[in-house]
Structure 1
Amino acid sequence: MSQAVTLARPYARAAFAVARGAACLPAWSDALAFAARVAADPQVSRLLGNPRLTRDDALRLLAPEGADEAFIRFLGLLFDNRRLTLLPEIAGLFDALRRDAEGTMRARVTSAVALPAPELETIKTALRRRFGREVELETAVDPALLGGAVIDAGDVVIDGSLKGKLARLQAALAQ
């Protein structure tokens, strides 16, 4: 995995530079997300490694309808360098560069039950204040948490779940 990210990083940076220069970051983000979803499919992934796959067929398969010429050339470059299988990593790195440039971040809130909108807004406000960025919240429900929530905001994980508190108490008592 880390090798794939290492290989994908220069392509993501190049794609970001081209998209930023053309002022079309959202369009490139959408196009990369589409291509990454297609490339991540197990059947397509095997096909991308097939030496009989032609460049035109690969581009038709991976380029979304209405993609700009620069994006199609980028896919062609990936094809020529045998890097089409890196599209999921490239898309992820591209989005991270885009969020950084736009001053936003993504956070995931996992709770034992669905949280009401006012609580989510309170969490969003606290994260915005802590990180100094706009926050896009993604929510999930995991009944195994028993209560509370776990907030995953990039490099920071805040475990306020009952399950996490019980685990910390158990570890403290064991010592």
Structure 2
Amino acid sequence: MAGDITTIARPYAEAAFERAKESGQVAAWSEALNLLAAVTSDPQLAAQIGNPSVPRSRIRDIILDVCGDALPTEVANFLQLLVQNARLAAVAEIARLFEVSRIADQGVRHVLVRSAFEVDAEQQQTLAAALARRFGGQVDLTVETDSALIGGIEIRTGDLVIDDSVRSKITQLAHALQF
């Protein structure tokens, strides 16, 4: 299901980012989309969004009332488009993907590294430098320790996963032995 919402949200996020960049309003769009994500994620409103008996225009009006003047005109128009296409449930994912595009556009790539063992500061710097060379830009590194990996590391950035963990190798071996 998470992949489905991402598939739905991606073209909207890309279009929003392109428009925001064209108009020089990336920061304003980012704030507005995050506000829309927060508003539409409210449990009471989320229930109404999913309720087919509530008119879409009513939901749009509620969102516009809650947001007030915090929404630039273009973002309000974007909201109208989402309402017309019944895509309000994807607003949080659209906002997340917009942020991914914004950060990537700035040349900074978020990288999650999961390691079976503690990674000290010097190792983190070495790893960040190697990943920056690999990806051709700045790297914002987050390191987590996960003993379930048994050994090795797992690197995730965007849609890319590099899994060099012992757990992964054992899983691959188990699949190979089943045939």
Q: TM-score, normalised by structure 2?
A: 0.74
Equivalent position of 2:73 in the other structure: 69
State yes or no: 1:57 paired with 2:58: no
Equivalent position of 2:29 in the other structure: 28
- Relative to structure 1, is the Cα distance of residues 41 and 117 closer, same or farther in structure 2, using a 3 angstrom cutoff? farther
Q: CA shift at 1:90, angstroms?
A: 1.6
Q: CA shift at 1:128, angstroms?
A: 0.8
Secondary structure of 1:105's aligned partner? strand
* Residue number among 88, 96, 102 corresponding to 1:98 in the alignment: 102
Backbone CA RMSD of aligned residues: 3.2
Deviations 1:54-111 (A, max 9, x none): 42212244x4883433323322332233221111332233234324433332211112
Structure 2 stretches lacking a partner, 5+ long? none
Distance 2:60 2:151 in 1: 52
Equivalent position of 2:112 in the other structure: 108
Equivalent position of 1:158 in the other structure: 162
Distance 1:46 1:105 in 2: 35
* Residue number among 123, 126, 130 corresponding to 1:122 in the alignment: 126
Equivalent position of 2:145 in the other structure: 141
Equivalent position of 2:47 in the other structure: 46
Count of residues in correspondence between the two structures: 174
Structure 1 stretches lacking a partner, 5+ long? none
Contact 1:109 1:139 in 2 (8 A): yes
Equivalent position of 2:18 in the other structure: 17
- Relative to structure 1, is the Cα distance of residues 112 and 64 closer, same or farther in structure 2, using a 3 angstrom cutoff? farther
Secondary structure of 1:31's aligned partner? helix
Secondary structure of 2:24's aligned partner? coil
Q: TM-score, normalised by structure 1?
A: 0.75
Distance 2:159 2:152 in 1: 20
